[in-house]
Amino acid sequence: MNLFATKPLSRIMRESEGGEHQLKRSLGALNLIALGIGAIIGAGLFAITPVAANMNAGPAVVFSFLIAGVGCAFAGMCYSEFATMIPIAGSAYTYAYATMGELLAWIIGWDLVLEYAVGAATVSVSWSNYLVRLLGHFGLSLPPRLTASPFEQTAAGTGIVNLPAIFIICLISIVLMIGISESAWVNAMIVALKVTIVILVIGLGWAYINRANYTPFVPPNTGEMGQFGWSGVMRAAGMIFFAYIGFDAVSTAAQEAKRPQRDMPIGIIGSLAICTLLYVLFAYVLTGIVNYKDMTSTAIYDAIRATKYAWLSTGVIIGILAGYTSVMLVMLLGQSRVFFSMSRDGLLPKLFSDVHPRFRTPWRSNLVLMFFVSLFSGLLPISKLGDMTSIGTLLAFVIVCVGVIVMRRTHPETPRPYKTPLVPLVPILGVIVCLAMMAFLDKDTWIRLVVWLVIGLAIYFSYGRHKSHLVTQPEPVQPAPAGKAS
C-alpha cells in the first residue's frame, strides 16, 4: 500500500455518522470554549510561567506569551477550517489522513498521544504537590513517601508511590467514561472557579506591582542561547506553548459538537483569545510583584502572601488545583479521542474504538489510558516533559497549517463553513512561527521526540500498516458507465 495514500473525505464522514462508533453530540459553543479554557489555563499559567521568567525571559515572558499566542492564532484559524470541514474526532490526526496520507497521519496521531499522556501525567504530579500544601493549611498531612515516586528522596526516605497523582488520574478517567456531557459540566464548574481566581490575582495584585522589577524588561543574554535576551524570549515561548494545547483538544471533540460548523470556530478561537489575554495580564502582574531572579515554582503563592490579601493564599491553591484538574480532564479526553480515531481506521486494536452502549463514550480506551497514565504519574519523577509536550504540539500545528494549503489545492470544491483568511499567507506564517519556537527548544527535547517517533514507526510498520482499513476494507471500484471503455 502507498504510505501516503489519503483517506477520502466522503469515507471519513460516512464512517463517523453511523454504526457502532457513533459518539453522542452534546457539546455547544460554550461547552467547547470551556473545554479550551480548561486545558489552556492551568499548568502553563501556574507552573511554567515563573520557571520561564526565572530561567529564560525575565519580565519579557509577556512577549513570549504574545509570540506563542500569535503562532496559535495562525494555527487556530487553520484548525477551525478543518474542524468545520471534517467535524470528526481525532483532530490533527484526521486532518493529516485526509490531506497528506496515512504515514504522516500516524506520525501526528502518535505525537498527539505523547502530547496528551505526558502532559496529563506531568500535571498530575504537580496537582499532588499542591494538594499536600493545601492539606497543610488545615493541619493535615500525608506520608511523604506516598506522595513521591521511587526515584525521589523525601524527608522520610525514598519515595514509594505518588498516590494523590494516581487518584486524580483515575477519578477524571471515570468521569470521562460516564459521559462527555457530564465531563463538560464538571469542567465548566472548574473553569468558572479558576478563572475567578486568576482575575482576582490580576485585579488585587495590580496595586502591588513594583516597577523596578521590570528593569531591564528584556534581561541581557548570558552568552548562551536561550538564557535571556531575545533568544531567551523565544525559548520561553517554546516552553510555554505547552499551555496552549487547549484549542487543539477542542478540535478532538468535533464529533461530539451539536453544530460543529458554527460552534468549532467559536470554541477554538474564543478560548484562545480569552486565555491569551489572561496569560499576558497574569504574567505582567506576577513579574511586577516578584522579581524574576527570585521566582520559584510557587511564585504565584508567594506573590499573594506578599500582599495584604495573604488570606487568599488558600483560595489560590484551590484555584491551582482546579486549574490542574481541568487540564488533565481535557488532555485525557483528547488522548482517548485520538486513539478512538486511529482504532476506527484499523491502525490500533479495536478496543480503543469500542463505544459504551449507554454512555456513548470510548470507555475501554479511557480505561487503558487510565492504567498507563496513572502508572507514569505514580512511579515516575516526570521532569522537563513540558518541553516534550510543547514540541509535539508545535509539530502537530505545522502539519495542520500545511494541510490547509494542500486541501485547498486537492479539494477546492469541498464546502468550508469557515475559511482560513489569506491562504496561503496565514498558514505559512503559522508554520514559520511554530518552527521558530521549535528551533529554540533544547537538544534533549529533540532527542526525546525522535526516540518516541522511532518507537511509533516500529508499531506502525509491524501492526498498523497491515491492519489499516485502507488495506483490509478498500473502497469498491466504481464500474465504468455502460457503453464506455473501461
Picking from 445, 451, 56, 394, the residue whose alpha carbon sits closest to that of residue 224 is: 56
Residue 323 domain-assigned (yes or no): yes
Rounded to whole angstroms, the Cα distance separating 110 from 392 reads: 9
Residue 361 domain-assigned (yes or no): yes
Point out which residues pair with 266 in neighbouring strands: none
Which range, of 24-28, 304-308, 347-351, 440-444, averages the lowest pLDDT?
Answer: 24-28
Measured at the CA of 193, the angle between CA 383 and CA 381, to 5 degrees, comes to: 10
* pLDDT number for residue 484: 45
* pLDDT number for residue 478: 43
> pLDDT band at 42, cuts 50/70/90?
low
> pLDDT band at 165, cuts 50/70/90?
very high
Residue 22 domain-assigned (yes or no): no
Rounded to whole angstroms, the Cα distance separating 399 from 354 reads: 28
Which range, of 7-21, 29-43, 46-60, 418-432, averages the lowest pLDDT?
Answer: 7-21
Residue 19 domain-assigned (yes or no): no
Q: Which residue carries 467535524 as its cell?
A: 87
- Percent of the chain topping pLDDT 90: 11
Residue 241 domain-assigned (yes or no): yes
What type of residue sits at position 368?
V
- Structural domain total, the chain: 1
Residue 7 domain-assigned (yes or no): no
Residue 10 domain-assigned (yes or no): no
* pLDDT number for residue 481: 42
* pLDDT number for residue 217: 92
What's the predicted TM-score (pTM) here? 0.74
The count of other CB atoms within 10 Å of the CB of residue 35 is 31
Rounded to whole angstroms, the Cα distance separating 373 from 475 reads: 37
> pLDDT band at 426, cuts 50/70/90?
very high
CATH code, domain carrying 315:
1.20.1740.10
Count CA within 13 A, CB hemisphere, residue 141: 5
pLDDT, mean over the chain: 79
Residue 379 domain-assigned (yes or no): yes
> pLDDT band at 430, cuts 50/70/90?
very high
Answer yes or no: are the C-beta atoms of 254 and 88 closer than 8 Å. Answer: yes
Does the pLDDT of residue 446 top 90, yes or no?
Answer: no
* pLDDT number for residue 300: 76
Which range, of 20-34, 73-87, 278-292, averages the lowest pLDDT?
Answer: 20-34
Average pLDDT over every residue of 12-40: 63
> pLDDT band at 264, cuts 50/70/90?
confident
Higher per-residue confidence, 132 vs 309:
132
Give the 3-state secondary structure of 207-222: HHCCHHHHCCCCCCCC
* pLDDT number for residue 20: 47
Q: Residue 179 is placed in which grid cell?
A: 459521559
Q: Which residue carries 484559524 as its cell?
A: 77
Does the pLDDT of residue 477 top 50, yes or no?
Answer: no
> pLDDT band at 431, cuts 50/70/90?
very high
The dihedral built from the CA positions of residue 405, 409, 412 and 415, taken in this order, carries a sign that is negative
Measured at the CA of 166, the angle between CA 161 and CA 168, to 5 degrees, comes to: 145
> pLDDT band at 178, cuts 50/70/90?
confident
Give the 3-state secondary structure of the chain: CCCCCCCCHHHHHHHHCCHHHCCCCCECHHHHHHHHHHHHCCHHHHHHHHHHHHHHHHHHHHHHHHHHHHHHHHHHHHHHHHHHHCCCCCCHHHHHHHHCCHHHHHHHHHHHHHHHHHHHHHHHHHHHHHHHHHHHHCCCCCCHHHECCCCCEECCEECCCEHHHHHHHHHHHHHHHHCHHHHHHHHHHHHHHHHHHHHHHHHHHHHHCCHHHHCCCCCCCCCCCCCCHHHHHHHHHHHHHHHHCHHHHHHHCHHHECCHHHHHHHHHHHHHHHHHHHHHHHHHHHHHHCCHHHCCCCHHHHHHHCCCCHHHHHHHHHHHHHHHHHHHHHHHHHHHHHHHHHHHCCCCCHHHHCCCCCCCCCHHHHHHHHHHHHHHHHHCCCCCHHHHHHHHHHHHHHHHHHHHHHHHHHCCCCCCCCCCCCCCHHHHHHHHHHHHHHHCCCHHHHHHHHHHHHHHHHHHHHHHHHHCHHHHCCCCCCCCCCCCCC
Average pLDDT over every residue of 214-241: 87
Domain membership of residue 158 as a residue range: 28-472
Buried b (16+ CB within 10 A) or exposed e, 264-275: bbbbbbbbbbbb
Does the pLDDT of residue 319 top 80, yes or no?
Answer: no
* pLDDT number for residue 406: 87
Average pLDDT over every residue of 295-313: 76
Give φ, ψ of 24 to 5 degrees.
-80, 125
